[in-house]
Amino acid sequence: NAGVMQNPRHLVRRRGQEARLRCSPMKGHSHVYWYRQLPEEGLKFMVYLQKENIIDESGMPKERFSAEFPKEGPSILRIQQVVRGDSAAYFCASSPGQGNQPQHFGDGTRLSIL
Amino acid sequence: RKEVEQDPGPFNVPEGATVAFNCTYSNSASQSFFWYRQDCRKEPKLLMSVYSSGNEDGRFTAQLNRASQYISLLIRDSKLSDSATYLCVVNTPSGGSYIPTFGRGTSLIVHP
């Protein structure tokens, strides 16, 4: 499967724990985007990364959330000290570049906070 | 005013009907426009890109009106399998880059 790969598909954490979500972009794609979708809500942009660089993190909460896209390996979205309100579906998308190229999405990670 | 707005619906139509959705955007400097569909909280899937000249893919036709800042999606001869949420996406300027901004989606229900 050469698509965008996200894991885990489902993640359960207790309040105060850390959650790590991983995303491997499609082959040949160097741009990665993370989105959050709350129940009955639309997709909300969080962060846009290229290899080793955060391009735009205007949608990401300033505290507890961080993202990286290292030179080797998948992109990681990290949520520290999770709270109930972090429960959501987190989608990753990738594209080959900016401009008029569409994104392709992974299956998402469903995060549940107990 | 939200950057990308869509009528949430639901649009409830019989099989075979023609249905149209609109989506408006607020930033005139936006570039690149797309329609995605999302089924039952699964991942969004690209339906089609949208160009000023209009483009068609089978039963689906998309149009961009830059002057009025909206895009449209027309579905002809609706099928039961078209039932989904249709998401409008606009690449919106943000700093030195463009960020894909999603509308909240329009729900379509096609019934027998």
For A12-70, what is the HEC assignment? Answer: EECCCCCEEEEEECCCCCCEEEEEEECCCCCEEEEEEEECCEEEECCCCCCCCEEEECC
A28 CB neighbour count, 10 Å cutoff: 9
Residues A100 and A113 sit within 8 Å (Cβ to Cβ): no
Interface size, chain A vs chain B, as Cβ–Cβ contacts under 8 Å: 59
pLDDT at position B16 is 97
Which of A43, A47, A101, A104 to substitute to test the interface with B, most B CBs within 10 Å? A43
Residues B62 and B71 sit within 8 Å (Cβ to Cβ): yes
pLDDT at position A93 is 95
Q: Which of B41, B91, B101 sits opposite A89 (nearest CB)?
A: B41
B100 with A33: Cβ contact below 8 A? yes
B52 CB neighbour count, 10 Å cutoff: 12
Convert the pLDDT of each residue in B42-98 to its tens digit: 999 999 999 888 899 999 999 999 999 999 999 999 999 999 999 999 998 887 788
CA-based torsion, B79, B105, B89, B41: positive or negative:
negative
Residues A37 and A103 sit within 8 Å (Cβ to Cβ): no
pLDDT at position A98 is 65
Average pLDDT, 10 consecutive residues per value, chain A (114 residues): 89 97 94 92 91 91 95 95 96 83 93 96
- Give the SS3 label for residue A11: strand
Convert the pLDDT of each residue in B13-42 to its tens digit: 999 999 999 999 999 999 899 999 999 879
| Residues written for chain B | 112
Helices (H), chain B: none
Report the b/e string of A36-72 with b at 16+ CB within 10 A: bbeeeebbbbbbbbeeeeebbbebbeeeebebbbeee
B8 or B73: which leads in pLDDT: B73
B41 with A41: Cβ contact below 8 A? no
